[in-house]
Chain A
Amino acid sequence: METSMWLALTGIAIGTYLIRLLPYLWMKQRLAKQQKEGGISAMPTWLTILGPTMIAAMFGTSLVPIHLDVASWLATAVGMLITFVVWTRTRSMGLPILSGVVAFGIITILF
C-alpha cells in the first residue's frame, strides 16, 4: 500500500474514532456543568428520542434480505414471528434470537 493510502487509512480511523468520542465528551461536560450550576442534569429531549428511533431504523434496514425474492421475505416474516413469540414468553434476549435464526434457516433451506 502506498504512503498516501496509509495516510487516508489513518485519517479515516482517527476521524471515525473522534466521531464516536467527541460528542460523548461534549455531552458529559454539558451534564456536569448543569449539575454544577445546581440544575437537574438532563439530555436534550430530541436526543433521547433519536436513540430509540436509531435502533428502530437499524432494525428496519437489517430486515431487508440478501435476495429480494418471495422465499427470503417469507423466511424473514417467519423468523420475526418466532422471535416475537419466544420473546413474549421469555422476555430474554438469547433464546428469542436463536429461535428466530433457526426458523429463518429452516425456511431458507426448505424453499
Chain B
Amino acid sequence: MTTSIQPLTSAPWKQGVKDAIPLLGGYIPVAISFGLISIQSGFSVFETILISTFIYAGASQFLFVAMAASGAPLWLMVIMTLLINARHIVYGPNLSPYLNEDKRWIPLMHGLTDQIFALAHVRLPQLPDQAQVGWYTGAATLAWFSWIAGTALGAIAGGELTQRWPLINEILPFALPALFFVLIVPRCNNPLWTLTIMVSAVTALILKLLGYPNIAIPLAAMCGAVLYYALKNQRIMRGK
C-alpha cells in the first residue's frame, strides 16, 4: 500500500466527495431497503429518517426496527444494536495517527462507518496534513447524506421503486466488494500480508454464508491478525 503523499488536483472536500462516489452504489440500495422495512415495521417516514440520521449504522438499524416490530424489550434492543456496532472500536484508533489536532474531528467521528473507515485508512496517509479534514468531511458527508436520502426514498416510495427496477437492489451493491478490493489489494505486496488478507476475507465469507453476518467482520479480522502474528513469529524463530 502506498503511503507517499500525493498532491491534490482539486479542493480536498471535492476529492473526498469524488473518492466516496463508489460508496453510493452500496449505500443507496441498502438505505432504500431500510426505509421500506422501517415503514412496514410501523415507524413513520419522519421517524425512519431520524433513525438513519442519528444511528447511521446499517446492520444495527435493521436489527432495531426488526426487534421493535417483534416487541422485544427496549434494554435488549439497545444492548444488541450496540454490540453489533462494537467493531467500530478499532476504527478511530487506527486513523488517529493521521488526524491532526483539529477539533472538527470530534463531530466528524459520527460519520466513521465501515466503508468510510476503509476509505480513510487508505487515503488519509496519502494526503497532506492540511487537506485531511476537508477530504474526510467531503467523503463522510456524501456518504451520510446518501444514506439519509436513500432512506427517505425507501420510506416514501420504496415499494414502487423496487417493483419497477428490481435490478437496482441486485447490481449496484457490487460497488462495495469492488471498492473494498481496490482498497485492500495494494496491501498484498508480500507473502505474509497476502496470506493474512486472504484468510481474513475467506473466513468472513464463510462466516456470512454460515449465517453469522454480524460477527463475521470482527471474528475474521481477529483470525487474520492471529495468523499474521503466528507466521511472523515463525519467521523470527527460523531466523534465530
**Majority secondary structure, A binding face:** helix
- Give the contacts of A75-96 with B (CB-CB under 8 A): 75-76, 79-80, 83-84, 87, 93-94, 96
Min CB distance B147 to A, Å, is: 13
**Majority secondary structure, B binding face:** helix
Given A24-B112, A54-B114, A108-B171, 13 more contacts at CB 8 Å?
A: A1-B47, A7-B74, A8-B78, A9-B51, A9-B55, A24-B91, A27-B93, A52-B187, A55-B118, A60-B203, A61-B208, A62-B177, A94-B21
Task: Specify which chain B residues have a CB less than 8 angstroms from the CB of A57 in the assembled complex.
Answer: 200-201, 203-204, 216-218, 220-221, 224
Q: Are A47 and B94 in contact (CB under 8 A)?
A: yes
Asked if B160 is at the interface (CB within 8 A of a chain A CB), the reply is no
- Give the contacts of B107-153 with A (CB-CB under 8 A): 109-110, 112, 114-115, 117-118, 121-122
Which has the most chain A C-beta neighbours within 10 Å: B114, B181, B220?
B181
Q: Are A108 and B167 in contact (CB under 8 A)?
A: yes
- Closest residue to A15 on the B side, CB-wise? B82
- Give the contacts of B177-201 with A (CB-CB under 8 A): 177-185, 187, 193, 196-198, 200-201
Asked if A58 is at the interface (CB within 8 A of a chain B CB), the reply is yes
Task: Specify which chain B residues have a CB less than 8 angstroms from the CB of A98 in the assembled complex.
Answer: 22
Q: Are B216 and A83 in contact (CB under 8 A)?
A: no
Which are the 10 A-B pairs with shortest beta-carbon distances? A24-B92, A60-B204, A53-B224, A60-B201, A59-B180, A27-B93, A56-B200, A13-B54, A57-B220, A100-B178
- Closest residue to A5 on the B side, CB-wise? B68
Q: How far is the CA of A59 from the CA of B216 in the complex (A)?
A: 11
Number of residues of chain B lying within 8 A (CB) of chain A: 92
- Partner of A101 from the list B54, B174, B205 (CB cut-off 8 Å) is B174
Q: Are A20 and B110 in contact (CB under 8 A)?
A: yes
Task: Specify which chain B residues have a CB less than 8 angstroms from the CB of A75 in the assembled complex.
Answer: 174
Residues of A near any B CB (own CB < 8 A): 1, 4-5, 7-13, 15-17, 19-28, 31, 41, 43, 46-64, 66-68, 75-76, 79-80, 83-84, 87, 93-94, 96-98, 100-101, 104-105, 108-109
Q: Are A54 and B92 in contact (CB under 8 A)?
A: no
List 19 A-B pairs, Cβ < 8 Å: A7-B74, A8-B74, A8-B78, A9-B51, A16-B81, A23-B91, A24-B112, A50-B225, A54-B117, A56-B187, A59-B180, A59-B181, A59-B201, A60-B204, A61-B208, A80-B178, A94-B22, A97-B182, A105-B167
Q: How far is the CA of A26 from the CA of B96 in the complex (A)?
A: 9
Q: Are B118 and A19 in contact (CB under 8 A)?
A: no
Q: Are B177 and A59 in contact (CB under 8 A)?
A: yes
Known: A4-B74, A28-B96, A94-B22. A63 touches B82 (CB 8 A): no
Min CB distance B231 to A, Å, is: 11
Min CB distance B232 to A, Å, is: 9
Known: A9-B51, A17-B109, A51-B121. A31 touches B209 (CB 8 A): no
- Closest residue to B92 on the A side, CB-wise? A24
Q: Are A16 and B82 in contact (CB under 8 A)?
A: yes
Q: Are B78 and A49 in contact (CB under 8 A)?
A: no
- Closest residue to A88 on the B side, CB-wise? B185
